[in-house]
Amino acid sequence: MISIGAVVGGPECIFFLSQLRKLMGFCQEARDRSSPTAMVNVVYHLPGSVCKPDYLGLRTATFSKNEKKIQVQVSVEAEWIDSRDEMTVLCYIYETADEALGLGFDEMNRRGIEYDLAADRLFLDSWKAALGFRSNLDDLSKD
């Protein structure tokens, strides 16, 4: 299972956050209907005038063996906060969430926790299909 969170660095993040909430809501609805499984919590750190992430890219963070849960943090670059293109931002969210799932899988595997990466990637694909956008990862999967 996947969950989505955000650390918002300022009011200028509102457009990006509104796009991210589309995935947050989709994940929340699915969690309400599912049985407990291992979870990757993807937290997007949005840079703004109040605070900025102190790292680049993605990193693993909090891990709970009892809850079978890992947090993967995504440092969002300022260019994505400045973008007002809905499909471009949604594509970025999809691709970074997919990358975060892979990182979460690697960490779960390293710690001996069973995690169904394929199921969460299918879930992420169903969100993309529901919103009707394409990703750069679509082109890679055809190879």
User: Which tokens hold the place of 135?
Assistant: 């990703």
How many whole angstroms separate alpha carbon 111 and alpha carbon 49?
37
Along the 143 residues of the chain, how does pLDDT read in single tens digits? 899 999 999 999 999 999 999 999 999 988 766 666 899 999 999 999 999 999 999 999 999 999 999 999 999 999 999 999 999 999 999 999 999 999 999 999 999 999 999 999 999 999 999 988 766 656 545 44
Tell me the pTM.
0.90
Per-domain residue ranges of the chain:
2-141
CB burial string 104-138: b at 16+ within 10 A, e below: bbebbeeeebebebeebbebbbebbeeeeeebebe
Contact 41, 71 (CB under 8 A): yes
Residue 24 has what pLDDT? 96
How many whole angstroms separate alpha carbon 35 and alpha carbon 108?
19
User: Which tokens hold the place of 67?
Assistant: 């809850």
